[in-house]
Structure 1
Amino acid sequence: MNSLLYIAVVLIWGTTWIAIKMQHGMVAAEVSIFWRFACASFLLMAGLFFSKRLKAIGHKGHLLCFLQGITVFGLNFFCFYHAVTWISSGLESVIFSMAMIFNAVNGWLYFRQPITKNIMVAAPLGLIGVLLLFWQDLKLIEQNSSVFYGIGLSVLGTYCFSIGNMISAKHQKEGRDVMSTNAWGMLYGTLVMGLLALSLGYDFSPELSFQYLSSLLYLSVFGSVIGFGAYFILVGRIGASHAAYATLLFPLVALTVSTFFEGYIWHWNAIAGLCLILLGNAAMFFKPEQIRNRKGIALKA
C-alpha cells in the first residue's frame, strides 16, 4: 500500500508542474489558486458527504485545518506561483526538494522524531542529485541577481509546505480523518486566497480556454484531491521525512514530460543526478534487518 501511495504522489505531482506552467500569465496567481482549491474542496466535500465519510473534527481540528489551509493550500502555492516570474520551474523543484530536510528537522522539533541513519545517508545523495539534475538552471543565477527573489519565495513556500506536513501528522496522531481534514484545509485555503485576491482588486473570471480549464481540472482533481490525499496518508504511515523524499523524485517525472513536450535535453549532469537520486531513494527505504532475516531463513533451509 505504501509503495502505491508513494508512486501515485511521484507521478501526479511530477506532472502538475507543466499544468501550473500552462496557467501562468493568463490569470492572476491568487485567482488561479482560488479556483483550483475551490473546485478541489467542493469535489472532496461533496464526495465525502454523500458517501457519509465526512468526519467531525472538533474545534481544535478546525483551528489546525485553518492553519493548514494558510500554509499548504495558501502561502505554499502563492510563493511558487509568483516565484516562476524570476526562476524556472526546474529551479523551483530544486528548492522544493528541501522539504525533506525541513520535515526531518521539524519532525524532531515538534514530535521528537529521531533523524534516522537512512535519512542522513539519503538526504545528501538526493540533494546533490537534484543539484546536478538542474545544474544548467543554477549556472544562470550569476547572470541575473533578481532570481534571488524567486529563490526566497520558493524557500518560504517549501517551509510552509513542511509546516503543513507537521499539522497533518498531528491530525493523524489525534485520530482525525485525513480526507476530512484535507477538505476543510482546502476550503479555508480557498477563502484566504479569495480574500487576498479581493483585497488586491483582481478579476475572478477564469480564462475560458481549453488550456486553462483543462489544467485547472487536472490540478484540482489529481494534483489536489488525489495527490494531497495520497501524500498526507503517506505522512501518517511512514513519517513526514520519508514521505517528503518524493519531492526529490517527482522532478524526474517533470523532466520526462518536458523531454516530450518542451524538448528538454539530458546532459551528463542530469544523468549523474538521476543515478544519485535513485541511489538515495534506495538508501531511504533500505532495511538491513530484512536482509539478515532472509539470510537466516536461507541458512535454515
Structure 2
Amino acid sequence: MEDEGSLSLLSPRILFPFLIVALIWGGTWIVIRDQISTVPPTWSVCYRFIIASIGMMALAKLRGQPLLLPRSGHVWALCLGLSQFTMNFNFVYNAERFVTSGLVATLFALLMLPNALLGRLFLGRRLEPSFFVGTAIAIVGVALLFVQEYRAMPASGLDVLYGVLLTVGGILSASAANVLQAARRVQLLPLLTLLAWAMIYGVLLNAGLGFATVGMPVFDPRPSYMVGILYLGLLGSVVTFPLYFGIVRAIGPGKAAYNSTMVPVVAMGLSTLFEGYRWSLLAGAGGAIAMLGLLVAMRARTPKTARVSAG
C-alpha cells in the first residue's frame, strides 16, 4: 500500500481523478454561460444543486454510506453549502454576465494561492519549494491567458472590473470550502453524505436568496438549458466533487487547487473543437507555461508531518 506521506499529484490514486475533474470542469464554463441567458443566476444554481443533491444521495446509498449526519456534522454541511454551493457559484454565475467564461476560468486558476496560504494558516500544511517554483511559473502562464482573454472581450472597463471582483469573491469562497474539507473534524465525516447534505443546504440557501433578490422561480424550457442543468448537476457536481474533495483530503488544498490551472486550457481546447476558437501566440504561450508550472508542482510531495489525519 502506498505511503500517504509520499503522495504527490503523480501518484495514480491522485492523478486519475485529478485529470477526470479537470476534463469535466473544463466543459462546465461554456455550459454555465448558456444557463444565465434568461434565468437569473441564483435560480440556475438552485436547479443545478436540486439535481446534484438527489444524485449525491443516490450515490451515497449506492456506496453504502449513511444518509444521515450527526448533529455536529450538519454545522459543517451548512458551512460547506454556504461557501461552496451558494456563495462560490453565485459569484461565478454572476461574473459570467459581465465577462467571458474564458476570463473567469483563467482567473480561477489562481485558486492555488489562497488555498496554499489558508491551508498553511489553519491546517499547518507545509509545501516543498518545488510547489512554490511551479506556482510562480504557472502564474506567469495564467497572466498571459488573462491578457489574451481580456483583449478578446467586447465589455467595457467597468464591466470587466465588476466581473473580476465577482470572480475573486468566487475564488475566496471556494478556497474557504477547500480548506474546510481538509480539516480533521470534517475528514471524520463520510464524504458523500457530507456533500449530499451540503448540497441540500445549498438548495435551500439559493432558493431563499432567489426569492429575496429576484422573486419567483424562472425556468428556461429550451432543451439545451435542461441538458445543461443535467450536465452541471450530475457530471459537473455528483461525479467531480467527491473526486476533487477526495484529492483535497489526501494532499491538501494547495496542491489540489492546481486542478484549476488545467481547467482553462481544457476549456480553450474544447472551444477549439466545438466553437472554432483560434489559438493566438499569447494564448499558446500562456497555456504551455501554465502546464510547465503544473508539471514542476507535481513533483512536490506532501510532508508526513504536515498531513492531516483522517482519523
**Alpha-carbon distance, 1:53 to partner:** 1.6
Matched residue of 2:219: which SS?
A: coil
Q: Distance in 1 between matches of 2:235 and 2:118?
A: 27
Report the CA distance between 1:26 and its aligned residue.
2.2
What is the CA-CA distance between 1:264 and the residue it aligns to?
Answer: 1.3
Superposed displacement of residue 116, structure 1: 2.4
Q: Distance in 2 between matches of 1:225 and 1:240?
A: 19
**What's 2:139 paired with?**
127
- Aligned mate of 1:69, from 69, 77, 81: 81
The structure 1 residue matched to 2:283, chosen from 270, 282, 286, is 270
Give the aligned residue type for 1:277: A
The CA distance in 1 between the partners of 2:276 and 2:185, in whole Å, is 42
Which 10-residue stretch deviates more, 24-33 or 167-176?
Answer: 167-176
Deviation at 1:126, TM superposition (A): 1.1
| 2:231 is the alignment partner of 1:218 | yes
1-structure distance, mates of 2:272, 2:216 = 35
The 1:114–1:9 alpha-carbon spacing in structure 2 relative to 1, beyond 3 Å, is same
Q: Relative to structure 1, is the Cα distance of residues 174 and 13 closer, same or farther in structure 2, using a 3 angstrom cutoff?
A: closer
The answer as to whether partners of 2:42 and 2:209 remain within 8 angstroms in 1 is yes
Instruction: Letter of the 1:110 partner, please give it.
Output: F
On the 8 A contact 1:71/1:164 being kept in 2, the answer is yes
| Equivalent residues of 1:172, 1:178 under 8 A apart | no
Kindly indicate whether the alpha-carbon contact (under 8 Å) linking 1:90 and 1:137 is maintained by their aligned counterparts in 2.
yes
1:78-93 correspondence runs (5 A)? 78-93=90-105
Is 1:105 matched up with 2:122? Answer: no
Q: Which residue of 1 aligns with 2:188?
A: 175
Output one character per residue of 1:248-284: Cα deviation in whole Å (capped at 9) or x when no partner: 1011110011112222111111111122112111111
> Partner amino acid for 2:207?
G
Does structure 2 retain, via aligned residues, the 8 Å contact 1:119–1:284?
A: yes
Hey, what does 2:9 align to over in structure 1?
none
Structure-2 residue corresponding to 1:295:
none
Which residue of structure 2 aligns with residue 282 of structure 1? 295
Confirm or deny: 8 A CA contact 1:166 1:240 kept in the other structure: yes
Aligned equivalent of 1:250:
263
Greater mean deviation of Cα atoms: 69-78 or 106-115: 106-115
Counterpart for residue 27 of structure 2:
15
1:51/1:235 Cα in 2 relative to 1: closer, same or farther (>3 Å)? closer
The aligned amino acid for 1:87 is V
Aligned residues: 288
**What displacement does 1:4 show?**
0.9
**Alpha-carbon deviation of 1:215?**
0.5
Task: Specify every segment of 5 or more residues in structure 1 that has no aligned partner in the other structure, as ranges.
Answer: 289-301
Please state if 1:238 is matched with 2:251: yes
Q: Counterpart of 1:192 in structure 2: which amino acid?
A: L
Distance change >3 Å, CA 265–CA 134, structure 1 → 2: farther
CA contact (8 A) 2:85 2:202 kept: yes
Q: Secondary structure of 1:134's partner?
A: helix
For 1:42, the equivalent position in structure 2 comes to 54
**Quick check: 266-275 or 157-166, which moved more?**
266-275
Q: Alpha carbons of 1:266 and 1:243: their partners in 2 closer, same or farther (altered >3 Å)?
A: same
Identity %: 31
Q: Return the alpha-carbon distance in structure 2 between the equivalents of residues 173 and 47 of structure 1.
A: 19
Is 1:229 aligned to 2:242, yes or no?
A: yes
Q: Secondary structure at the match of 2:183?
A: helix
Tell me which residue corresponds to 2:130.
Answer: 118
CA drift at 1:145: 2.6
Q: Are 1:33 and 2:40 matched, yes or no?
A: no
Q: Please tell me the residue identity of whatever aligns with 2:19.
A: I
Q: Please give the per-residue CA displacement for 1:42-61, whole angstroms capped at 9, x wherever unaligned.
A: 12113323553225532222
Query: In the alignment, does 2:216 pair up with 1:207?
Result: no
| SS, match of residue 208 in structure 1 | coil
> Residue 173 and residue 199 in structure 1: after superposition, are their counterparts in 2 closer, same or farther (change >3 A)?
closer
> 148, 153, 158: which is aligned to 2:166?
153
Matched residue type, 2:33: K
Q: Larger C-alpha radius of gyration, 1 or 2?
A: 1
Choose the corresponding residue for 1:58, options 65, 70, 81.
70
Kindly provide the CA deviation profile for residues 150-196 of structure 1, in whole angstroms up to 9, marking residues without a partner as x. 11110011000000001111267641111111111111111100111
Query: What is the TM-score with the length of structure 2 in the denominator?
Result: 0.87
The match for 1:292 is: none
Contact 2:107 2:146 in 1 (8 A): no
When residues 128 and 141 of structure 1 are mapped into structure 2, their CA distance, relative to the original with a 3 A threshold, is farther
